[in-house]
Structure 1
Amino acid sequence: MSEYSQNLRASYEAVRGTYQQFTERNEALLRDILTEGGDFYAIEARTKDLDSFEAKVDLPEKEQKYKDIAEVTDLSGLRIICYLDEDATRVCMRLAELYDIDHDHSVNKNEQLDPDQFGYRSRHFVVRFPPARAALMENERFAGLRAEIQVRTILQHAWAAIDWKLRYKNSAEVPQHLRRRVFRVSALLELADDEFSSLSASVASLREEYERKVDAGDLSIAIDRESVDIFLEKDADLEALVTLAKEVGYAIAPNHPNARDPYGGVISTASRAGMTTIDEVRGKIADVITRKDQRLGQVVDAWKAPDRPPRLVMSKAGLARLAIVLSVETSQAIALIGELPFGQKLQDALLQVLLQRE
């Protein structure tokens, strides 16, 4: 350790607490601003520790490079990991709106690779609060401080983790033939990134086609997650079913924000019932509405208990699935809910109502 690095360490030690608060402030700001768009998978944040700082400035190539710790741009570091490359692009645009970017020290690693090279891909921004944000009382102590923000996709992050382990953590340099194999993995990840983006664009195009058809009254479209989502949002018969359900004791709630498969139940039930198009699902819903099927309310009555809420809470997808079950023959309905059960309490109530009809 040189006197140079020790002096810088002492200077950094005196202000590291402020940098820690700066990192926390940036992380909170980015989570607040970016969450609404849903463009990121994770945000990581760290403030460089003292030993890491001293090791950095003590490198031979860094000797006498920094006259002041303010010249070190990565004391506060954040990483935004996005799902797709277009998500990362949108995040970069938001960063340009939120911060003053030091373009001299920012770099797009994607642009540094030649067409025949594979390797680390990420976008690095060195930023500071713009004057208006720095003037806020809660930010005054951060005026002039800089942070490094990295933006990358999940697959770029996967490569970076592998690259770091195989190329930097080992004391001996990785042999050339092994390094080439790792680079081939990098190429596959880059191709996968592009394919995910292409797939996302195809899904958006398919949704637009479904929406045009649904708006035109053409529901002869395949049952899948996208068509069900649009149908539940737009169909008039479903809205009529929602109205009827509310009258007999249901409360209709949106899908749970953390639900991994909010439409799996209705899609699987429709498939097991032999349906292949959204029009067939609508037909079953229309049947329940036309008959004003009293069993819809009877299910609520059978479900009720002193320890339960006054209304049976269900999503639109759950209600559509229930309509399918009520619109088929009793034996088929019992088979359907046996293969694809509802929650236990609702299951018991539904079976009770179905068996009463026998």
Structure 2
Amino acid sequence: MSEYSQNLRASYEAVWGTYQQFTERNEALLRDILVEGEDYYAIEARTKDLDSFEAKVDLPEKEQKYKDIAEVTDLSGLRIICYLDEDATRVCEQLGELYDIDQEHSVNKNEQLDPDQFGYRSRHFVVAFPADRAALKENARFVGLRAEIQVRTILQHAWAAIDWKLRYKNSAEVPQHLRRRVFRVSALLELADDEFSSLSVSVAHLRDEYERKVDAGDLSIAIDRESIDIFIEKDVDLEALVALAEDIGYSIAPNHPNARDPYGGVISTASLAGMSTIDEVRTKIAEVVAKKEPRLRQVFEAWREPDRPPRLVVSKAGLARLAIVLSVEVPQAVALVEKLPFGPKLQSALLDVLRNG
């Protein structure tokens, strides 16, 4: 190691703890402002360790480049991995509101990509706390510090990881007999990114169409994830079913925030019951409400035991699914429940009522 890199290392070692705290403060800020699952898939954070720092500044091309460690912009590094390109764009806009951006050292690799390059698409920002945030007492020690924040999609991140392993930055570096395969993989990932964004737009348009139809009273729309979501949000008969269930002792809870498939049960149940449109689901729910289906109370009574809480918690989708089961003939209802079980305790109570009610 050169005397130059050793001196810089000693300077960095003296303030490494402060940079570590700066990284942690930035990560906490981003997690507080951005919405997981909506704005981003994951946030990664790291403070460059001493050995990596010395190895960086000891590279021949870095010799005498830095007069002070403050000139090194990536000592504190964060990466925001987004689902779609439009999410990444939105996050970049939010970064502009949160930080002072060093435009001279920030780059958009999407725009820098030459025709003979491939894959490594992301946006890099060198940032510092703006005056109002830096003026806070808890941030006083971070004045003058900068962080590098990378923003990319999941597929851009996947290519960056593969690129790091292959270490090919342009077509000239790729062995001739592998070049076509590398370009194909890069093109497929970029195409997939674009297609996911296009699908997202199509889903938004479909939801708009469904909402217009539901608001107009036209429920002759296919049962799918989007139509069920809108139906559960808007339908008056389902709201009446909720009121009926709550009077009995059911507690209607929102979907769990981490539920990956909150409507899978009701969609599958409706399909197995022979229903293909939202109107058919609504009709069955309206029938249950109109006759104040007594088995709805019987299920609650069969579920309730002395050691259980006073209310049976289900989601709106779960309640709609229960109504579908109670609206069909008993043999079909039993078959539906056995094929698509509820939770163990509710399952036992429901089968008891269906078989013995």
Equivalent runs, 1:107-146 vs 2, <5 Å: 107-115=107-115, 117-146=117-146
Q: 2:336 is matched with which residue? A: 336
What TM-score results when the alignment is normalised by the length of structure 2?
Answer: 0.97
Structure 1 residue 122, shift from structure 2 partner: 0.6
Structure 1 residue 115, shift from structure 2 partner: 4.6
One-letter amino acid of the structure 2 residue matched with residue 232 of structure 1 = I
For the pair 1:296 / 2:306, whether they are aligned, the reply is no
What do residues 305-351 of structure 1 show as CA deviations (whole Å, max 9, x unaligned)? 12211010000000000000000000100011011011111111011
Structure 1 residue 177, shift from structure 2 partner: 2.9
For the pair 1:24 / 2:24, whether they are aligned, the reply is yes
Structure 1 residue 34, shift from structure 2 partner: 0.4
- Provide the C-alpha distance between the structure 1 equivalents of 2:129 and 2:148, rounded to a whole number of angstroms: 12
**Unmatched tracts of structure 1, length 5 or more:** none
Q: 2:80 is matched with which residue? A: 80
Q: 2:266 is matched with which residue? A: 266
Contact 2:123/2:150 (<8 A) preserved: yes
Flag the 1:180–1:4 CA change in 2: closer, same or farther, 3 A. Answer: farther
Contact 2:46/2:77 (<8 A) preserved: yes
Contact 1:166/1:174 (<8 A) preserved: no
Q: 1:309 is matched with which residue? A: 309
Equivalent runs, 1:104-253 vs 2, <5 Å: 104-115=104-115, 117-167=117-167, 175-253=175-253
- Provide the C-alpha distance between the structure 1 equivalents of 2:187 and 2:202, rounded to a whole number of angstroms: 23
Contact 2:223/2:278 (<8 A) preserved: yes
- Provide the C-alpha distance between the structure 2 equivalents of 1:47 and 1:184, rounded to a whole number of angstroms: 35
One-letter amino acid of the structure 2 residue matched with residue 5 of structure 1 = S
Equivalent runs, 1:342-357 vs 2, <5 Å: 342-357=342-357
Flag the 1:27–1:179 CA change in 2: closer, same or farther, 3 A. Answer: farther
One-letter amino acid of the structure 2 residue matched with residue 328 of structure 1 = V
- Provide the C-alpha distance between the structure 1 equivalents of 2:326 and 2:128, rounded to a whole number of angstroms: 60
- Provide the C-alpha distance between the structure 2 equivalents of 1:178 and 1:339, rounded to a whole number of angstroms: 50
- Provide the C-alpha distance between the structure 2 equivalents of 1:289 and 1:107, rounded to a whole number of angstroms: 60
- Provide the C-alpha distance between the structure 2 equivalents of 1:48 and 1:183, rounded to a whole number of angstroms: 32
What do residues 49-100 of structure 1 show as CA deviations (whole Å, max 9, x unaligned)? 0110001101111100000000000000000000000000000000000000
Contact 2:123/2:152 (<8 A) preserved: yes
- Provide the C-alpha distance between the structure 2 equivalents of 1:265 and 1:159, rounded to a whole number of angstroms: 36
Q: 1:97 is matched with which residue? A: 97
- Provide the C-alpha distance between the structure 1 equivalents of 2:37 and 2:143, rounded to a whole number of angstroms: 28
One-letter amino acid of the structure 1 residue matched with residue 38 of structure 2 = G
Structure 1 residue 182, shift from structure 2 partner: 2.2
Contact 2:84/2:154 (<8 A) preserved: yes
Contact 2:48/2:75 (<8 A) preserved: yes
Q: 2:15 is matched with which residue? A: 15
**Unmatched tracts of structure 2, length 5 or more:** none
Q: Secondary structure at the match of 1:40?
A: coil
Percent sequence identity is: 85
One-letter amino acid of the structure 2 residue matched with residue 82 of structure 1 = C
What TM-score results when the alignment is normalised by the length of structure 1?
Answer: 0.97
One-letter amino acid of the structure 1 residue matched with residue 45 of structure 2 = A
Contact 1:118/1:184 (<8 A) preserved: no
Structure 1 residue 179, shift from structure 2 partner: 4.5
Contact 1:124/1:149 (<8 A) preserved: yes
One-letter amino acid of the structure 2 residue matched with residue 315 of structure 1 = S
Structure 1 residue 222, shift from structure 2 partner: 0.2
Q: Secondary structure at the match of 1:35?
A: coil
Structure 1 residue 36, shift from structure 2 partner: 6.6
- Provide the C-alpha distance between the structure 2 equivalents of 1:98 and 1:330, rounded to a whole number of angstroms: 59
What do residues 232-291 of structure 1 show as CA deviations (whole Å, max 9, x unaligned)? 000000000000000111000000111111000000000000000000000000000111
**Paired positions, count:** 354
Contact 1:80/1:151 (<8 A) preserved: yes
Structure 1 residue 114, shift from structure 2 partner: 2.7
RMSD (CA atoms):
1.4
Flag the 1:224–1:120 CA change in 2: closer, same or farther, 3 A. Answer: same
Q: 2:40 is matched with which residue? A: 40
Contact 2:232/2:317 (<8 A) preserved: yes
- Provide the C-alpha distance between the structure 1 equivalents of 2:254 and 2:37, rounded to a whole number of angstroms: 19
Structure 1 residue 183, shift from structure 2 partner: 3.0
- Provide the C-alpha distance between the structure 1 equivalents of 2:233 and 2:53, rounded to a whole number of angstroms: 54
